[in-house]
Amino acid sequence: MPDVPENRSFDLSNKMQSRLHDLVPGGSHTYSRGSDQYPEFMTPILTRGDGCHVWDVDGNEYVEYGMGLRSVTLGHGYRPVVEAVCAAIADGMNFSRPTELELAAAEDFLEMVPTAEMVKFAKNGSDVTTAAVRLARAATGRVKVAACLQPFFSTDDWFIGTTEMSGGIPETARQETVRFPYNDLPSLAAVLESDDFACVILEAATSTTEPEPGYLEGVRRLCDEHGALLIIDEMITGFRWSAHGAQSIYGIQPDLSCWGKAMGNGFPISALAGKRAFMELGGLRTDRERVFLLSTTHGPERGSLAAFRAVVRAYAGDDPIGRMEHAGRLLADGVQAAVREQGLSDHLQVVGRPSCLTFVTRDTELAPSQAYRTLFLQELIARGVLGQSFVTSAAHADLDIEATVDAVRCALPVYRRAIESGSVEGLLEGRPVAPAIRQYAAPRRIDAFLPNDTGREAMWG
């Protein structure tokens, strides 16, 4: 590997990753955490974290970005959250009746999200987006879903059927969802013209796209005109744009909204929130046919509810969003300055909201390039920076940002050599990363082999 500044070994991580591929389809329980999303032979298996730092099984330390797929905003091991969880679970996790934490957490949530009148907790984002779609279908008597052309909404058929990875999903389910582009009201109007859509689902904004003036108001108006419910996905924007969600920033009132990720600072919790008239269809105070809305064994377990309440207290008593944005601005300015010094401003950009930055890598023809992205990741990992993005947390201190900018500055000469030669050949070890959601395992297919006890002994001793 070229120009590695220190002797970092990935031997044990690579052995464990290989073993994971024996035991877990894809070698990871989340596709975006997969080994195909990182440089080959540099796939750290992590052991612990503290703030914005993580350590792998080989003893390597990193400044981490992405922070648990954006689920950690306060930092790994944030003590007030950990202590609240430990105190709660010491008296039991799960019971046969609701606990007082369910009431307290619901009150906390609805105080933070004034557009909602009722809330129901679950574990994953997909749980609540699919529940929202089901509720919209029941409320309207319609089936079709208009889903914005944004990266991800659910693991369930109604959404995954619209992606390249649609194997195993009936064609009828694929046809029930229609995609429409963001910031394009005429396209949404054309979709809804048939008046047979149960709902419109979209993120109010993304890391790289802001709503144009009047866009979200227009979406609300079109939903009202055509009798479709408006569902706002706050998985990423909630607790990162604002503790009250992006809907509070842009002044949009959804019928239903879906929350998750940073609600528990990494602990598993999500929420479906919305207007009482719709939410009650899943309850006991309706004369209409009931909706099987959400009913999960682990949805109200005490650990995650305690984590959520501790997160609420942290946001009320401090300004974690301000600290995330400060770190992001500092990082973007530093990286962009280093890129300009190398004359690479056309080939490498940092874009997005300061608290949710991504980097764009381009080749010699200025086309977005997975190969050049992988080269950049390779050089950052070798220098102690881990992440598929530059998404910050409130734990990223100025010194962490300075260390990251230094790592970028040292990595850029390798990137420049690739641009000047017109290829990453000889500079990139292994194959480029590939999209997480794709139809076939190629171009990062892993050869199969039988489980090997000898390999296990080599890992565990």
Give the CA angle between residues 273, 248, 324 to the nearest 5°: 100
Residues sharing a CB contact under 8 Å with residue 193, sequence separation 6 or more, in sequence order: 226
Residue 388, both tokens: 């598929």
- The structural domains of the chain, ordered by start, are 10-76+320-421 (3.90.1150.10), 94-300 (3.40.640.10)
pLDDT at 7: 78
pLDDT per position as a tens digit, 303-347:
999 999 999 999 999 999 999 999 999 999 999 999 999 999 999
Residues sharing a CB contact under 8 Å with residue 156, sequence separation 6 or more, in sequence order: 126, 129, 130
Please identify every stretch of the chain with a pLDDT value under 50, giving residue numbers as ranges. 1-4, 450-454, 461
Query: Strand order in 118-122's β-sheet?
Result: 118-122, 270-274, 256-259, 229-233, 197-202, 144-148, 177-180
pLDDT at 150: 96
Is residue 21 within 8 Å of 419, Cβ to Cβ? no
One-letter-per-residue 3-state SS of 369-438? CHHHHHHHHHHHHHCCEECCCECCCCCCCHHHHHHHHHHHHHHHHHHHHHHHHCCCCCCCCCCCCCCCCC
* Share of residues in the chain with pLDDT > 90 (%): 95
Strands 229-233 and 256-259: parallel
pTM of the predicted structure, to 2 decimals: 0.94
Nearest Cα residue to 455 out of 22, 9, 8:
22
Distance of CA 162 to the CA centre of its chain: 19
